[in-house]
Amino acid sequence: MTLICHMLAVAFVQVLIVLGNWSLAKNINFYNVRLPVDPTPFPSSFKCFTCDNVVDNYNCNRWAEDKWCPPNTQYCLTVHHFTSHGRSTSVTKKCATREECHFVGCRHLRETSRTLLRLLKIALKVCWYYLINPKLQQRAVTAICKGMHILL
């Protein structure tokens, strides 16, 4: 008999707790909830994905570390090199200054290999304000290079 009374008392307390929590939850304004602010190294700081001379954008995005940029930088820079057939040869992503981002877009580069053959390469520089979704970045790259008849 005491066991039944004890179980009823526990069940009654649990019902009271659930009802109390439910009545408090009705008063929460979920549109006014603010996420905790991450500590930043300095005011107006931002992060960029970083990788250096990775073979393609997929591997760069897969292993890229997002780092806090130093105070003298304002952008995230992506430099992507392609062959004349659109095959990726290297990708570099880093924090960049305004001067580094002054000349962005597609450029034709001529490089000489060890056998003195001339290879045509396309270098693409794109600057962003903050970390960016890789799919959105690919669309932007395609849009920038379409004028040069390059389909990526």
Kindly report, residue by residue over 51-81, the tens digit of the pLDDT: 999 988 888 888 888 888 899 888 888 888 8
Name residue 92's beta-bridge partners.
Answer: 79
Least confident of 40-44, 61-65, 134-138: 134-138
pLDDT at residue 136 greater than cutoff 50 = no
Q: What is the DSSP letter of 84?
A: T
- For the segment 104-124, the average pLDDT, to the nearest whole number, is 54
Q: Is 138 helix (H, G, I), strand (E, B) or coil?
A: helix
Q: Which of 74, 63, 82, 79 minimizes the C-alpha distance to 122?
A: 82
Q: Give percent of the chain above pLDDT 70.
A: 51
* Long-range CB pairs of 95-103, under 8 A, 24+ apart, other chains included: 95/48, 95/50, 95/67, 95/69, 95/70, 96/127, 97/72, 97/73, 98/74, 100/75, 100/127, 101/74, 101/75, 101/77, 101/125, 101/127
Q: Give percent of the chain above pLDDT 90.
A: 5
Phi and psi torsions of 30, nearest 5°:
-70, -15
Helix intervals (H) in the chain: 2-25, 57-63, 134-145
The predicted pLDDT at position 52 comes to 92
Domains in the chain (CATH in brackets) are 47-148 (2.10.60.10)
pLDDT at residue 146 greater than cutoff 60 = no
The predicted pLDDT at position 145 comes to 47
Mean pLDDT for the chain overall: 69
The CA distance from 113 to 35, in Å, is 53
